[in-house]
Structure 1
Amino acid sequence: MKITAIETLRTDEFSNVLWVRVHTDAGVIGLGETFYGAGAVEAHIHDTLAARLLGENPLHIEALNRTMVDLPLAQASTGAEYRAASAIDIALWDLFGKVCGQPVHQMLGGLCAEKLRVYNTCAGYGYVRNRNIRPVDTWNIGASDGPYEDLSGFMSDAGALAENLLESGITAMKIWPFDPAGIRNRGLFISAEEMKAAIEPFEKIRKVVGDKMEIMVEFHSLWNLPTAKKIAKALEPYDPAWFEDPIRMNSPQALAEYAASTTVPVCASETLGSRFPYKDMLERDATHIAMVDLCWTGGLTEGRKIAALADTYHRPFAPHDCTGPVAFAAAVHTSFSQPNTLIQESVRAFYTGWYKELVTAVPKIENGYVYPMEGPGLGVDLLPQVFERPDLTHRKSEI
């Protein structure tokens, strides 16, 4: 079997989502995806990677992954080179599963659980639906109507939102109320008034639902170390489940100092590319939960290695997903195949909303649990109408 063509698709409406389809001479097509800077990733795929991949055996996934990331500028990052490699790697695993007639989680070693707990990242319908992805406190609130505008929910009445999530069986939620102050002050300091405002959602959640809800705190790497430690101390009485990316993820020593200063586990990081920075973090006891975004860090090939590395240090694995529908499916397959998966991220405004505009299937989530996807490969494909969209940009490199 040989790779005969590599095809990319992106749209103006979902401008940060890039799909990759790997074609073969056997007629089997694998589907992958990445997120952010879709045009730059598209260019790298066609201008650089296609020449290295066309004519190769698509089932030699490990070798092809190394071919894609062994480039001068593709070294342990989540830049365009790694995002391109990630998308193609996901497509190769989808193709592998289709060739063998098995779901990707089986190709990765089989199920380690019959169902997995999910947490809800409290984003809304327009959170990542435009070109200008930036860390602000609005994130397109009100961009579309629906019952799960959870970003507005946690910013206005986090207690009511927690009640609503519990009613659907979801017992963990992730929020980021410190972002407005972090952006306003460039992460240098936080005033007493800003601290009080950011803590208010935690107070409301605990007042309304007590300890029935786990609260993950996302900081988007906005803070300097002294301020991050100050915030951590203020939040400890509310018993958060984890602190995620409190500072920039470029100093294991600084993150280790942060981790030693708080009783709350540190989760890191969707922003890390390849297993090597995770090794540095784990060796320094800087992170307690390994979060990996498969469409940024090298695909399923690298993601499962990071999960195994974390397991070596007796640390759980928690795949990130706040991007597109194919990446979500890939994350779910990987989660089920790893024995140390703690919990799977999900966004109910996404999997009940815009994901269904684009793909044939989404993972089943019910009563706070996600279930394995069925069918060969990822078990998901692009809907026919995606190929007919007037805002579609389509490019194909072939033999």
Structure 2
Amino acid sequence: MKVIGLETLRTEEFANVLWVRVLTDEGTIGLGETFYGAGAVEAHIHETLAGRLLGQDPLRMEALNRIMTDLPVAQSSTGAEYRAASAIDIALWDLFGKVCGQPVYQMLGGLCTDKLRVYNTCAGYGYVRSNNIRPVDTWNLGAAEGPYEDLAGFMTDAGALAENLLESGITAMKIWPFDPAAQENRGLYISAEQLKKAIEPFEKIRKRVGDRIEIMVEFHSLWNLPTAKKIARALEPYAPTWYEDPIRMNSPQALAEYAASTDVWVCASETLGSRFPYKDMLERDAIHIAMVDLCWTGGLTEGRKIAALADAYHRPFAPHDCTGPVGFAAAIHASFSQPNTLIQESVRAFYTGWYKELVTEVPTIRDGYVLPMDGPGLGVDLLPAVYDRSDLIYRKSEL
């Protein structure tokens, strides 16, 4: 078997989502995905990686992963080069599963559990439905309406949102009410008034449902170290489960100082590319939970290595998902195959909403747990309607 073509597909509406299809001479096709800067990733795939991959055996995933990342500009980053490699790697694992007639989780070692707990990231329907992606509380707020407009929910009545999540069986939620202050003050400081306002959702949640729900806090790497430590101390009475990316993820020493200053777990980081920066963080006791975005950090090939590395330090693994539907499926396969997976991120406004406009299957989430996906490979494909979209941008490189 050999690779005879690479296809990329993106749309103007979902401008940051890029799909990759790996075509083979035997007719089997693998589907992958990445997110953010789709045009730049597309260019790298066709102008650089196609020349390295066309004609190769697609089942040599480990070797091909090294070929794609063994570039001066594609080492230990989440830049366009690494995002391109991630999408293709996911497609190769999808193809591998299809060739063997098995789900990807089986190819990765098999199920470690029959169901996996999820938490709900409280984004809304329009959170990624444009090119305007930036870390702020109002990501396309009100752009679409539905029963799970959870971004508005946590900003206005977080207690009612927590109760609603519990009624559906979901026992953990992630929110980011500190973003507006960080945007206003460039992450340099937070006023007493801003701090009080950002803490209000936590007060409402605990007053309404007590400790029945876990709260994860997302900081989007927006704060300097002294202010991040100040916020961490202020939140501790509300017993958050973890603090995620409180500062920029480029200093193991600074993050270790932060981790030592609080009893709350530090979760990091979707922004790290490859296993090497995770090693630096783990060696410094800077992180308690290894969060990985498979669409950014090197795909399933690298993601499983990061999970194993975290396990060697007795740390849990928690894949990121707030991007596209194929990446979500890949994360779930990875989660089920790793013994140290703690919990899987999900966004109910996505998997009950716009994901269904794009793909044939979405994972089953029931009573707060996700179930393994059936079928060979990732078990998901693009809907025929995607190929007929008027805003589709399609490009192909072939042998």
TM class by smaller structure: over 0.9
Distance in 2 between residues matched to 1:337 and 1:261, nearest whole Å = 33
5 Å matches for 1:181-220?
A: 181-220=181-220
5 Å matches for 1:92-131?
A: 92-131=92-131
Matched, 1:355 2:355: yes
Shift of 1:15: 0.4
The residue that corresponds to 1:162 in the other structure is 162
Distance in 2 between residues matched to 1:380 and 1:136, nearest whole Å = 31
Distance in 1 between residues matched to 2:136 and 2:321, nearest whole Å = 19
Matched, 1:83 2:83: yes
The residue that corresponds to 1:62 in the other structure is 62
The residue that corresponds to 1:394 in the other structure is 394
**Local SS of the residue matching 2:26:** coil
5 Å matches for 1:201-280?
A: 201-280=201-280
Matched, 1:338 2:338: yes
Distance in 2 between residues matched to 1:235 and 1:293, nearest whole Å = 26
Shift of 1:137: 1.9
Aligned residues: CA RMSD: 0.3
Matched, 1:291 2:296: no
Shift of 1:308: 0.1
The residue that corresponds to 1:27 in the other structure is 27
**Local SS of the residue matching 1:125:** coil
Distance in 2 between residues matched to 1:135 and 1:56, nearest whole Å = 39
CA displacement, residues 115-164 of structure 1 (integer Å, 9 cap, x when unaligned): 00000000000001100101222111111110000000000000000000
CA displacement, residues 375-395 of structure 1 (integer Å, 9 cap, x when unaligned): 000000000010010100000
Amino acid at match of 1:220: H
Distance in 2 between residues matched to 1:119 and 1:94, nearest whole Å = 25
CA displacement, residues 340-396 of structure 1 (integer Å, 9 cap, x when unaligned): 000000000000000000000001000000000000000000000100101000000
Percent identical: 84
Matched, 1:7 2:13: no
Matched, 1:144 2:144: yes
**Local SS of the residue matching 1:211:** coil
Distance in 1 between residues matched to 2:241 and 2:341, nearest whole Å = 15
Distance in 2 between residues matched to 1:203 and 1:144, nearest whole Å = 28
Matched, 1:52 2:52: yes
Distance in 2 between residues matched to 1:222 and 1:315, nearest whole Å = 24
**Local SS of the residue matching 1:194:** helix
Amino acid at match of 1:234: A
Distance in 1 between residues matched to 2:117 and 2:135, nearest whole Å = 27
Shift of 1:59: 0.1
Distance in 2 between residues matched to 1:114 and 1:130, nearest whole Å = 36
**Local SS of the residue matching 1:212:** coil
Query: Gaps spanning 5+ residues in structure 2: where?
Result: none
Shift of 1:298: 0.1
CA displacement, residues 34-89 of structure 1 (integer Å, 9 cap, x when unaligned): 00000000000000000000000000000000000000100100000000000000
**Local SS of the residue matching 2:318:** coil
Amino acid at match of 2:296: W
Runs of 4 or more consecutive aligned structure 1 residues displaced over 6 Å after TM superposition: none
Distance in 2 between residues matched to 1:217 and 1:138, nearest whole Å = 16
Distance in 2 between residues matched to 1:142 and 1:356, nearest whole Å = 20
TM-score norm. by structure 1 comes to: 1.00
Matched, 1:318 2:318: yes
**Local SS of the residue matching 1:291:** strand
Distance in 1 between residues matched to 2:167 and 2:25, nearest whole Å = 50
**Local SS of the residue matching 2:226:** helix
Distance in 2 between residues matched to 1:141 and 1:321, nearest whole Å = 19
Distance in 2 between residues matched to 1:115 and 1:186, nearest whole Å = 41
Amino acid at match of 1:143: A
Number of paired residues?
A: 399
The residue that corresponds to 1:38 in the other structure is 38
Amino acid at match of 1:112: C
TM-score norm. by structure 2 comes to: 1.00
Amino acid at match of 1:130: S
The residue that corresponds to 1:382 in the other structure is 382
